[in-house]
Chain A
């Protein structure tokens, strides 16, 4: 006699109170494959955990964003935000699509050059530019986005020393009606600091002011804030023209577009609430086009969005290590990927999904990582089906920041794999080995 299919016995307490805002529970979403390659095959070949990036998704998302802006504004140029994900293979895809590079350190600048980006196609942001970094930027004819007066004077000094001209923009911070207002980077618009910086630059013989830059915040869920920012930069541009008879060449609206991840504490999922590229594009383009800037002097619109372009393309494959019950009876599971490689889990409720058909019974569950540290919590509360040790799970939308902000802790960082347009897999960053560490360590003889 054929045996019946077994399901783990479950008893769950019925909790009366606030009804589920989404009504009856929907069917559990399952991610069986990434771009047609089965999750078990990927884990068998590259281990668990493993990051997987989809070239198809990267290119599609980039082209969606590009289309949204180019159908509304005549001159658009994207610059790939290196700090969001500076894996060479990922950067190369963005550069292949036509993106310039947006870097925030000498390290990233060198990486961009090594990725074949022309120095003049690098936007150099950030508050930390050493004299050596500035020399490299000047020598490569990059666009240096000045962050503060000390940097401005260091730059003047450096151009004098090198006897070369520098192409510059200033970063402007401003009140766009959102909270928190970012005022730690750049020069303030409202108190006249930005205007003072512009005046000083225009007096400097070796500085060529070619752009205005802003970056109003991160994960901005109000597209209209970008409209306000674009109006203010357009006003500055017109003011520069009136006083100095000089039209700057570009307005850089920075990044900060929200990805579809859900912020912790959010009532609705991010996929429902985040503005689309079209909404951001509409707000920005309308503001510039309807400003006083004459048509023939419309600036190139630069965009440095990172998170919204790469988050969806990244997955983390992981496996279940253990099922446990807490003292309160709460179900917990331990997986083999910790917060050290999932930095974004500190502010997102990341989507975690089984990779195969599971029991229909779901239960509120806490998902822990393997780090033997109390902070290692991937999800504090997620309605999750029963899973067994060894079951493989997929964490989605992890393409931004995780592989740049990750840290090595107690074990090796995993392989990172790219699935190309032909469905072939490539390791784009090898897992750490003991040599990775021993090669960098020195043990003084005693």
Chain B
């Protein structure tokens, strides 16, 4: 998953999309997550890091991760892939 180049993320969790003009707020966990995605880390690595740091189980985190990613895609923050490409 790739964050588009029009996206700017400030250190206090503010996100601006210069392509659409939309801006967003992140909560601290969301901020941490988007920074890891921006750094090109894969799901497994992100999950392991979160499980080690936070009081959360793997399935709950997985559910939240994919919901968060769906929202990034919905807001055109990540590159829009082929809708038939499920992987």
Contact = CB atoms under 8 A, between A and B. Distances in A.
Interface residues of B, number: 31
B75 A7 contact: no
A7 B28 contact: yes
B53 A3 contact: yes
Contact of B23 (A4, A9, A10, A14): A14
Interface in B18-36: 22-30, 32-34
Contacts of A6: 29, 50, 54-56, 60-61
B70 A11 contact: no
Given A3-B53, A6-B29, A10-B27, A325 B67 contact: yes
A11 B15 contact: yes
A11 B55 contact: no
A11 B30 contact: yes
A10 B34 CA distance: 10
Given A6-B29, A329-B74, A11 B54 contact: no
Given A11-B15, A388-B60, 10 more contacts: A3-B52, A6-B60, A7-B29, A8-B29, A9-B29, A11-B25, A13-B22, A14-B25, A325-B70, A325-B74
A323 B27 CA distance: 18
A295 interface: no
A56 interface: no
Given A325-B67, A325-B70, A329-B75, A10 B54 contact: no
In this complex, the interface size class of chain A, counting residues with CB under 8 Å from chain B, is 10 to 19
B1 interface: no
A424 interface: no
B83 to A, nearest CB: 12
DSSP majority for the A interface?
loop
Interface of B: 15, 22-30, 32-34, 50, 52-56, 60-61, 64-65, 67-68, 70-72, 74-75, 77
Interface of A: 3-14, 323, 325, 329, 359, 361, 388
B53 A8 contact: no
Q: Which 4 A-B pairs have the closest CB atoms?
A: A9-B30, A6-B56, A6-B54, A3-B55
Contacts of B64: 8-9
Contacts of B72: 11
Given A13-B75, A325-B67, A329-B75, A7 B55 contact: no
Nearest to B73: A329
A11 B26 contact: yes
Contacts of B71: 11, 325, 329
Given A11-B72, A325-B67, A325-B71, A5 B55 contact: yes
Contact of A11 (B34, B60, B61): B34
26 contacts: A3-B52, A5-B54, A5-B55, A6-B29, A6-B54, A8-B64, A9-B30, A9-B32, A9-B33, A9-B64, A9-B65, A10-B27, A10-B30, A11-B26, A11-B30, A11-B68, A11-B71, A13-B24, A14-B22, A14-B24, A323-B67, A325-B67, A329-B71, A359-B27, A361-B27, A388-B60
